[in-house]
Chains A and B, each alone.
Chain A
Amino acid sequence: MAKNTPDQPKLGPGRVLIAVYGVFAIAATVRAGFQIATAFSASPVNYSLSALSGLVYILATISLARTGKTWHKIAWGTLIFELTGVLLVGTFSLFFPAATVKQTSVWSYFGMYYLFIPLILPILGLNWLRKQGRDQ
Protein backbone atom coordinates (compact mmCIF):
# COMPACT_ATOMS: atom_id res chain seq x y z
CA MET A 1 0.00 0.00 0.00
CA ALA A 2 3.04 2.23 0.39
CA LYS A 3 3.25 4.82 -2.33
CA ASN A 4 6.21 7.03 -2.86
CA THR A 5 5.38 8.88 -6.04
CA PRO A 6 8.40 10.29 -7.90
CA ASP A 7 7.52 13.91 -7.25
CA GLN A 8 7.05 13.30 -3.54
CA PRO A 9 10.39 12.64 -1.94
CA LYS A 10 10.65 10.49 1.13
CA LEU A 11 10.57 13.17 3.79
CA GLY A 12 11.37 11.02 6.78
CA PRO A 13 11.41 13.05 9.99
CA GLY A 14 10.80 16.14 7.89
CA ARG A 15 7.23 14.87 7.66
CA VAL A 16 6.77 15.52 11.36
CA LEU A 17 8.31 18.97 11.05
CA ILE A 18 5.92 19.89 8.26
CA ALA A 19 2.95 18.52 10.21
CA VAL A 20 3.78 20.55 13.31
CA TYR A 21 4.49 23.65 11.23
CA GLY A 22 1.21 23.21 9.39
CA VAL A 23 -0.94 22.83 12.50
CA PHE A 24 0.83 25.68 14.24
CA ALA A 25 0.69 27.96 11.18
CA ILE A 26 -3.05 27.54 10.82
CA ALA A 27 -3.69 27.88 14.55
CA ALA A 28 -1.56 31.01 14.88
CA THR A 29 -3.01 32.67 11.79
CA VAL A 30 -6.62 31.93 12.72
CA ARG A 31 -6.06 33.12 16.27
CA ALA A 32 -4.38 36.33 15.10
CA GLY A 33 -7.19 36.88 12.61
CA PHE A 34 -9.67 36.44 15.42
CA GLN A 35 -7.83 38.90 17.66
CA ILE A 36 -7.66 41.48 14.88
CA ALA A 37 -11.34 41.03 14.05
CA THR A 38 -12.60 41.33 17.62
CA ALA A 39 -10.17 43.47 19.61
CA PHE A 40 -7.63 45.06 17.33
CA SER A 41 -7.31 48.29 19.33
CA ALA A 42 -6.37 46.37 22.46
CA SER A 43 -2.96 45.50 21.04
CA PRO A 44 -2.59 46.50 17.38
CA VAL A 45 1.15 46.00 17.09
CA ASN A 46 1.22 42.58 18.73
CA TYR A 47 -1.83 41.28 16.88
CA SER A 48 -0.38 42.50 13.58
CA LEU A 49 2.91 40.81 14.39
CA SER A 50 1.09 37.59 15.13
CA ALA A 51 -0.86 37.79 11.88
CA LEU A 52 2.28 38.48 9.86
CA SER A 53 4.13 35.64 11.53
CA GLY A 54 1.14 33.35 10.92
CA LEU A 55 1.21 34.03 7.19
CA VAL A 56 4.96 33.50 7.07
CA TYR A 57 4.50 30.23 8.97
CA ILE A 58 2.06 29.10 6.29
CA LEU A 59 4.58 29.96 3.59
CA ALA A 60 7.24 28.12 5.58
CA THR A 61 5.06 25.02 5.77
CA ILE A 62 4.48 25.01 2.03
CA SER A 63 8.12 25.61 1.17
CA LEU A 64 9.29 22.87 3.54
CA ALA A 65 6.98 20.38 1.83
CA ARG A 66 8.11 21.22 -1.67
CA THR A 67 11.23 20.28 -3.53
CA GLY A 68 13.49 22.38 -5.70
CA LYS A 69 16.08 25.06 -5.20
CA THR A 70 13.67 27.99 -5.11
CA TRP A 71 11.40 26.46 -2.49
CA HIS A 72 14.49 25.51 -0.51
CA LYS A 73 15.59 29.15 -0.51
CA ILE A 74 12.12 30.33 0.46
CA ALA A 75 12.13 27.84 3.32
CA TRP A 76 15.46 29.20 4.54
CA GLY A 77 14.18 32.75 4.30
CA THR A 78 10.94 32.15 6.16
CA LEU A 79 12.59 30.18 8.94
CA ILE A 80 15.30 32.77 9.47
CA PHE A 81 12.61 35.45 9.52
CA GLU A 82 10.69 33.50 12.15
CA LEU A 83 13.71 32.82 14.33
CA THR A 84 14.86 36.44 14.16
CA GLY A 85 11.35 37.60 14.94
CA VAL A 86 10.87 35.44 18.00
CA LEU A 87 14.32 36.30 19.36
CA LEU A 88 13.92 40.05 18.83
CA VAL A 89 10.33 40.33 20.03
CA GLY A 90 11.00 37.85 22.81
CA THR A 91 13.86 39.98 24.12
CA PHE A 92 11.88 43.19 23.65
CA SER A 93 8.93 41.80 25.59
CA LEU A 94 11.19 41.14 28.57
CA PHE A 95 11.89 44.85 28.86
CA PHE A 96 8.52 46.12 27.68
CA PRO A 97 5.96 43.52 28.75
CA ALA A 98 2.39 43.76 27.53
CA ALA A 99 -0.14 44.96 30.08
CA THR A 100 -2.13 41.73 30.05
CA VAL A 101 -1.57 38.24 28.73
CA LYS A 102 -4.38 38.78 26.24
CA GLN A 103 -2.37 41.51 24.56
CA THR A 104 0.73 39.44 23.91
CA SER A 105 1.83 38.20 20.51
CA VAL A 106 2.92 34.81 19.26
CA TRP A 107 6.51 35.87 19.74
CA SER A 108 6.16 37.40 23.20
CA TYR A 109 8.52 35.91 25.76
CA PHE A 110 10.04 33.72 23.02
CA GLY A 111 6.72 32.06 22.32
CA MET A 112 6.09 31.08 25.91
CA TYR A 113 2.30 31.15 25.57
CA TYR A 114 2.57 28.81 22.61
CA LEU A 115 4.65 26.23 24.44
CA PHE A 116 7.81 27.82 22.98
CA ILE A 117 6.90 26.29 19.62
CA PRO A 118 7.75 29.58 17.83
CA LEU A 119 11.26 29.29 19.22
CA ILE A 120 11.97 25.57 18.86
CA LEU A 121 10.36 25.01 15.48
CA PRO A 122 12.55 27.33 13.36
CA ILE A 123 15.66 25.92 15.01
CA LEU A 124 14.63 22.35 14.20
CA GLY A 125 13.57 23.44 10.74
CA LEU A 126 16.84 25.19 9.96
CA ASN A 127 18.74 22.16 11.13
CA TRP A 128 16.68 19.93 8.86
CA LEU A 129 17.15 22.29 5.91
CA ARG A 130 20.88 22.22 6.50
CA LYS A 131 20.85 18.43 6.20
CA GLN A 132 18.63 18.60 3.13
CA GLY A 133 21.03 21.01 1.49
CA ARG A 134 23.94 18.72 2.15
CA ASP A 135 22.23 15.67 0.71
CA GLN A 136 21.37 17.37 -2.57
Chain B
Amino acid sequence: MPELLYQVLLWSALAVGLGSLLLGLLGKVPGNVTAIGQAVLELGLLALLVTSIVLVAGGKSAATSTVEFFAYLVGALIIPVAAVFWSLLERSRWSTVVLGVSGLAIVVMVVRMHQIWTGSYL
Protein backbone atom coordinates (compact mmCIF):
# COMPACT_ATOMS: atom_id res chain seq x y z
CA MET B 1 0.00 0.00 0.00
CA PRO B 2 1.29 3.48 -0.72
CA GLU B 3 3.37 4.67 2.20
CA LEU B 4 1.72 8.11 2.23
CA LEU B 5 -1.79 6.69 2.39
CA TYR B 6 -0.69 4.37 5.17
CA GLN B 7 0.72 7.21 7.25
CA VAL B 8 -2.32 9.42 6.67
CA LEU B 9 -4.70 6.63 7.64
CA LEU B 10 -2.65 5.62 10.64
CA TRP B 11 -2.32 9.07 12.18
CA SER B 12 -5.85 10.21 11.39
CA ALA B 13 -7.24 7.01 12.93
CA LEU B 14 -5.09 7.60 15.99
CA ALA B 15 -6.29 11.21 16.19
CA VAL B 16 -9.94 10.30 15.73
CA GLY B 17 -9.63 7.39 18.14
CA LEU B 18 -7.91 9.28 20.93
CA GLY B 19 -9.99 12.39 20.25
CA SER B 20 -13.32 10.61 20.52
CA LEU B 21 -12.07 8.68 23.53
CA LEU B 22 -11.15 11.92 25.25
CA LEU B 23 -14.41 13.65 24.30
CA GLY B 24 -16.35 10.69 25.61
CA LEU B 25 -14.52 10.57 28.91
CA LEU B 26 -15.16 14.32 29.22
CA GLY B 27 -18.86 13.59 29.00
CA LYS B 28 -19.64 14.70 25.47
CA VAL B 29 -22.35 12.81 23.59
CA PRO B 30 -21.81 11.85 19.94
CA GLY B 31 -22.24 14.82 17.67
CA ASN B 32 -21.19 16.25 14.35
CA VAL B 33 -17.49 16.35 15.16
CA THR B 34 -17.26 12.71 16.16
CA ALA B 35 -19.44 11.64 13.25
CA ILE B 36 -17.24 13.55 10.81
CA GLY B 37 -14.22 11.83 12.37
CA GLN B 38 -15.65 8.42 11.59
CA ALA B 39 -16.60 9.58 8.10
CA VAL B 40 -13.01 10.70 7.46
CA LEU B 41 -11.73 7.28 8.47
CA GLU B 42 -14.28 5.53 6.31
CA LEU B 43 -13.27 7.67 3.31
CA GLY B 44 -9.61 6.90 3.98
CA LEU B 45 -10.34 3.19 4.08
CA LEU B 46 -12.35 3.42 0.86
CA ALA B 47 -9.40 5.20 -0.74
CA LEU B 48 -7.20 2.34 0.43
CA LEU B 49 -9.65 -0.17 -1.02
CA VAL B 50 -9.65 1.51 -4.43
CA THR B 51 -5.87 1.93 -4.43
CA SER B 52 -5.33 -1.70 -3.46
CA ILE B 53 -7.70 -3.00 -6.12
CA VAL B 54 -5.89 -0.92 -8.72
CA LEU B 55 -2.51 -2.19 -7.53
CA VAL B 56 -3.59 -5.82 -7.53
CA ALA B 57 -5.24 -5.45 -10.93
CA GLY B 58 -1.91 -4.09 -12.16
CA GLY B 59 -0.13 -7.21 -11.01
CA LYS B 60 1.06 -6.25 -7.54
CA SER B 61 0.30 -8.32 -4.49
CA ALA B 62 0.84 -8.34 -0.77
CA ALA B 63 4.16 -9.70 0.37
CA THR B 64 2.43 -12.16 2.68
CA SER B 65 -1.17 -12.84 1.65
CA THR B 66 -3.34 -10.67 -0.56
CA VAL B 67 -6.47 -12.50 0.55
CA GLU B 68 -5.70 -11.83 4.19
CA PHE B 69 -5.02 -8.18 3.34
CA PHE B 70 -8.44 -7.72 1.81
CA ALA B 71 -10.09 -9.66 4.63
CA TYR B 72 -8.70 -7.13 7.08
CA LEU B 73 -9.67 -4.24 4.80
CA VAL B 74 -13.27 -5.39 4.46
CA GLY B 75 -13.44 -5.87 8.21
CA ALA B 76 -12.01 -2.43 8.82
CA LEU B 77 -14.54 -0.82 6.47
CA ILE B 78 -17.39 -2.14 8.59
CA ILE B 79 -16.16 -0.80 11.90
CA PRO B 80 -16.84 2.97 11.60
CA VAL B 81 -20.26 2.28 10.10
CA ALA B 82 -21.23 -0.12 12.86
CA ALA B 83 -19.87 2.24 15.50
CA VAL B 84 -21.89 5.18 14.24
CA PHE B 85 -25.06 3.11 14.04
CA TRP B 86 -24.54 1.95 17.57
CA SER B 87 -23.86 5.43 18.81
CA LEU B 88 -27.28 6.44 17.49
CA LEU B 89 -28.96 3.92 19.80
CA GLU B 90 -27.79 5.55 22.99
CA ARG B 91 -26.58 9.12 22.88
CA SER B 92 -24.39 9.03 25.90
CA ARG B 93 -20.75 9.66 26.62
CA TRP B 94 -20.10 5.94 26.39
CA SER B 95 -21.25 5.91 22.81
CA THR B 96 -18.61 8.55 22.14
CA VAL B 97 -16.04 6.34 23.84
CA VAL B 98 -17.15 3.51 21.52
CA LEU B 99 -16.39 5.80 18.58
CA GLY B 100 -12.96 6.20 20.13
CA VAL B 101 -12.62 2.43 20.30
CA SER B 102 -13.58 2.31 16.63
CA GLY B 103 -10.77 4.68 15.72
CA LEU B 104 -8.23 2.74 17.76
CA ALA B 105 -9.40 -0.52 16.23
CA ILE B 106 -8.77 1.01 12.80
CA VAL B 107 -5.25 1.89 13.94
CA VAL B 108 -4.58 -1.74 14.78
CA MET B 109 -6.05 -2.96 11.52
CA VAL B 110 -4.14 -0.44 9.41
CA VAL B 111 -0.86 -1.44 11.07
CA ARG B 112 -1.71 -5.10 10.49
CA MET B 113 -2.58 -4.49 6.83
CA HIS B 114 0.71 -2.66 6.36
CA GLN B 115 2.57 -5.59 7.89
CA ILE B 116 0.79 -8.03 5.60
CA TRP B 117 1.37 -5.91 2.51
CA THR B 118 5.04 -5.13 3.11
CA GLY B 119 5.90 -8.48 4.61
CA SER B 120 7.15 -7.22 7.97
CA TYR B 121 4.90 -9.91 9.26
CA LEU B 122 4.19 -11.20 12.72
B-binding residues in A (CB < 8 A): 1-4, 8, 10-16, 19-20, 23, 26-27, 30, 34, 38, 101-102, 113, 115
B6 at the interface (CB under 8 A from A): no
- Are the C-beta atoms of A16 and B98 separated by less than 8 Å? yes
Q: Chain A contact residues: over half helix, strand or loop, or mixed?
A: helix
- Are the C-beta atoms of A15 and B94 separated by less than 8 Å? yes
User: Could you tell me the distance between the alpha carbons of A19 and B90 in the complex, rounded to whole angstroms?
Assistant: 13
- Are the C-beta atoms of A8 and B89 separated by less than 8 Å? yes
User: Could you tell me the distance between the alpha carbons of A62 and B121 in the complex, rounded to whole angstroms?
Assistant: 32
Known A3-B89, A12-B94, A34-B71; judge A19-B122 contact (CB<8 A): no
CB distance from A65 to the nearest CB of B (A): 11
A15-B92, A26-B75, A101-B122 given. 10 additional CB < 8 A pairs? A3-B89, A3-B90, A10-B90, A16-B101, A19-B83, A19-B101, A23-B79, A30-B71, A30-B75, A38-B65
User: Interface extent on B, as a size class?
Assistant: 20 to 34
Collect the chain A residues with CB atoms within 8 Å of residue B90's CB. Answer: 2-4, 8, 10-11, 15
Collect the chain B residues with CB atoms within 8 Å of residue A101's CB. Answer: 122
B11 at the interface (CB under 8 A from A): no
| A-B contacts, 10 listed (Cβ < 8 Å) | A1-B91, A10-B90, A12-B94, A15-B95, A15-B98, A19-B83, A19-B102, A23-B105, A30-B75, A113-B122
Collect the chain B residues with CB atoms within 8 Å of residue A8's CB. Answer: 89-90
Residues of chain B from 24 to 74 with CB closer than 8 A to chain A in the complex:
65, 68, 71
